[in-house]
Structure 1
Amino acid sequence: MLSAEPSAVPVLTAADLIADPGAHRVLTGDRPTGPLHLGHYFGTLQNRVRLQDQGVEMFVLVADYQVITDRDLADRLAEHTENLVLDYLAAGLDPERATIFAHSAVPALNQLLLPFLSLVSVAELSRNPTVKDEIAHSSQAAVNGLMFTYPVHQAADILFCKADLVPVGQDQLPHLEVARTVARRFNERYPHADGSAVFPRPRALLSEAPMLLGTDGGKMSKSRGNAVALGADEDETARIIRGARTDADRRITYDPTGRPGVSGLLLLAALCQDRAPETIAEEIGDGGAAVLKRTVIESVNEYFRPLRVRRAELATDRGHLRQVLRAGAERANAIADATLAEVREVMGAI
């Protein structure tokens, strides 16, 4: 009989983290489905670098196996994987302090999916709101089994290295709840001989970054063509931002509910300038969309110029990117092999 799991996922506060950053291990990552964009930077990358610099142990996953959860082909997977590492390094992740690795290079991690699947019911998976949303936006004619087990695969990602902290947005809490459920049920069913637990129950580190909208006023997304890629040059950045949706009101104000397009652009400029969007709106005043877009273009190009220079330099040595992945895989494999051996031991496996 599967026991119920409390719905609330405990959240670690920034104060808790700062008090003892070295006590925490973080698992985070991305699917290599295309270039990372400005929303990724302000939403996650910037925070990952901050955590790394605070002394938190970082595991950054390139979730290449999860590319085929919602599409039939893993198009240009090797290229996208290397470019993801390129974006990571350009943003400031340091492979000497962060373990950067790919799913497909760590067999023991993926093998944990099998015992973990025995700990959750089909009904629980079908009720998961994130799975429902992913299925709704899938490009496939039929939902495959990997999509259905996506939250349990993520639990394996988190638990293989015994991460105790996962940076997430509010909408990703159901996935973390699955990982906590899997950890609790495994520990109850297969404790060590002395009664101690095999896995920690990870907590959430909720992102405080506001969500950036795409140039069409919708969610910024790699697949929707409404975002500025980190690797975009200044001319391309200007072209994309000039095409952003605004409205007919010449007076520029910050009103995320009533004027999402204008407010999204103001927020982007504000993040780049480290100022309040209301202040920038007041300065633009009656300048209209043309002045707003010019301000955003200048702000983005100025802020990301050093990152883009680093990215261009790193891109000249693709061998270095592959070496980063090899080194990360070596460390991740050592940990995953040890965890799988521990799992097999407590389960009584041969």
Structure 2
Amino acid sequence: MNRFDYVRPNTVAEAVQALGADPAARFIAGGTNLIDLMKYDVERPGRLVDITRLPLRDIEERDGGLRIGALVTNATVAYDAQVKERYPLLSSAILAGASAQLRNAASTGGNLLQRTRCYYFYDTATPCNKREAGTGCSAIGGVNRIHAILGASEHCIATHPSDMCVALAALEAVVQVSGPNGDRSIPIAKFHRLPGDDPAKDTNLAPGEIIVAVDLPAKSFAANYTYLKLRDRLSYAFALVSVAAALELDGQTIRTARLALGGVAHKPWRNQEAEALLQGKPATRETFAAAADLILREAKPQSTNGFKIELARRAIVRGLEQAASGTPQSQSDKRIQ
């Protein structure tokens, strides 16, 4: 690793100031992603701003929903009584990811800022536009089995790795940030970016901004939901395809539908046209298949990941069936129900 300065502020304002003092500075909390990137020489921060002393570790009621501080660990969120009761979709998604040890260290804010697990991004001997603009995308025409089928560009086909963020997308969470120009709220749908012409930029955070909290709205979908994650092995693996499904039912008629996919794009993927198609329709396999077809109509496979399209189609249908029947996917027994 390269040499770097280390500072440990006590307030959010001090943290913002410390980050702004060095263009190569990075915030660090649990470090479960950043330290790996530093070891692989992908990230070379000139300064680490340790934010673990900041007062951002509370889960509290806010405007009928919950506010989760940026430093609350993934494990704490997953097992919090209010989250489990009111937002079980979020708890389930977190428990589907990483390992118990990592969830004990990883923070809510850090999870939002995870970088892709693309093989080429981590390999500094290969070209990667996300790592060094203009060098090319080695995954295009290379080993791309885990890569995007939606929203990719000619510059990058990487996928976003987070499970937590897929659930947050379905729940329509709001990210609260603070920076040199004050505080602002970013809807989760606008927080992450598609690669476009600038794949190095993962989020719409402005320079110097820090995540301080995530707000969960009052609508929780606690009765009819599921987080279905399909992967190469049953634990400690990133999603090939994941589905966060949340429904409100009136008998067997869908009143409201939320659907977010992971493992298929550079950000958690929602298609509101497909959600609108579900509203007012019967909760049947035929309805769910129509929504899946709509979501995947613009999917573009690479040389070795075409299987993801059919996998995603089946996962969407199965996830919506689980949500409609009120039988969410178990994260302790991960075999698909």
For the criterion TM > 0.5, the same-fold answer is no
TM-score, normalised relative to structure 2 = 0.29
Q: Between Structure 1 and Structure 2, whose CA radius of gyration is higher?
A: 1
Could you tell me the TM-score, scaled by structure 1's length?
0.29
The structure carrying a bigger helix percent of its residues is: 1
Q: Which has the higher contact order (CA 8 A, sep 6+)?
A: 1
